[in-house]
Structure 1
Amino acid sequence: MRQSEFTPEFVTTVPEELEEGRLYISERFRTASHLCACGCGAHVVTSLKPAKWQLTNRDGRVSLSPSIGRWQLPCQSHYWIRDNRVVWSYSFTEEEKSAVQRRDAQAVRDYYEARRGRRSLEFLRRVWRRLTGRDRPR
């Protein structure tokens, strides 16, 4: 059955059998899972990471961003979850799908490259503190 709304359920681990209309959110594993909103029964898993999806929770009303595009499935569903509601979008053309996939892949590369840069800077700061004796307890 096509969904118009999801009920968020905060879990440690996602159950093997998902219920229609439930959005299972595992903060521990940084995922949100649900059955496709179109009713096709496909499992949808969104990775809650900075370069992937973001989850916002306002008084039990959750939103996922960006949209969810199920282009590899026959249903070709494309929707957002905003304040627990499903907001349907139009189907993307093949060119639009390719552009989004390229943009998403670049966002992931940029995110991890920035993290590597921050780690390098933090490492250099630690080394400098050790060399200058500033890491000793006072």
Structure 2
Amino acid sequence: MRHLSLEHRFVRNVPRELEPGILYISMDYATAVHSCCCGCGDRVVTPFTPTDWRMTFDGESISLQPSVGNWNQKCRSHYVIQRGRVLEAGPWSQGQIEAERLRDKKAKAAHYGSLHEVRRELPGSATGGQSATAHSRSIWTRLKAWLSL
């Protein structure tokens, strides 16, 4: 690993050019972005969702769970970001990667499928009170609207 620690910066929008060693966090877009810690320079995007990554800010440092596995990049680096430190994790076999992709796909289907069922049960019209424009809004906007009922 070229970068053994990451400084965090809370931003609204992530800059086009990433400064190595900086973890950009956009709460507005529920995403963290950084330049790969191996030093290859590839952009690594970690969205905060119930089925992707979780970010913890302890007032001084940032942690991301689960690990960052860059399986689609040439470097195939794998590391954990814990309290601002970058901890190298071992490489995964192709079988492990495929198993994780399948687990991720199932988790997304289970989670977002359940949100689809909740939307159908919303009061209103036969489509659950959702207009055609509501379907084009983000899932977060729709969930927030539903929770405020």
Partner of 1:95: 95
State the distance in 2 between where 1:26 and 1:115 align. 24
Letter in 1 for 2:24: Y
Q: How does 1:1-20 map to 2 (within 5 A)?
A: 2-20=2-20
Instruction: State the secondary structure of the residue aligned to 1:23.
Output: strand
Whether 2:40 is the aligned partner of 1:40: answer: yes
Letter in 1 for 2:92: F
Q: How does 1:41-120 map to 2 (within 5 A)?
A: 41-120=41-120
State percent identity of aligned pairs.
38
Unaligned 5+ runs, structure 2: 126-149
State the distance in 2 between where 1:60 and 1:110 align. 34
If the length of structure 1 is used for normalisation, what is the TM-score? Answer: 0.85
- Let me know the Cα RMSD of the aligned residues: 1.5
State the distance in 2 between where 1:40 and 1:4 align. 14
Deviation at 1:20, TM superposition (A): 0.8
State the distance in 2 between where 1:107 and 1:67 align. 17
Deviation at 1:120, TM superposition (A): 3.1
Deviation at 1:75, TM superposition (A): 1.0
* Structure possessing the higher radius of gyration over alpha carbons: 1
Give yes or no for contact 1:70–1:76 (8 Å, CA) kept in 2: yes
Letter in 1 for 2:43: H
Q: How many residues align?
A: 125
Residue-by-residue CA offset, 1:46-74 (whole Å, 9 max, x unaligned) = 11111111111111311111111111222
State the distance in 2 between where 1:46 and 1:118 align. 26
Letter in 1 for 2:88: W
Q: Which has the higher contact order (CA 8 A, sep 6+)?
A: 1
Residue-by-residue CA offset, 1:9-33 (whole Å, 9 max, x unaligned) = 0000000111111000001111100
Instruction: State the secondary structure of the residue aligned to 1:55.
Output: strand
State the distance in 2 between where 1:55 and 1:119 align. 27
Give yes or no for contact 1:8–1:60 (8 Å, CA) kept in 2: no
If the length of structure 2 is used for normalisation, what is the TM-score? Answer: 0.79
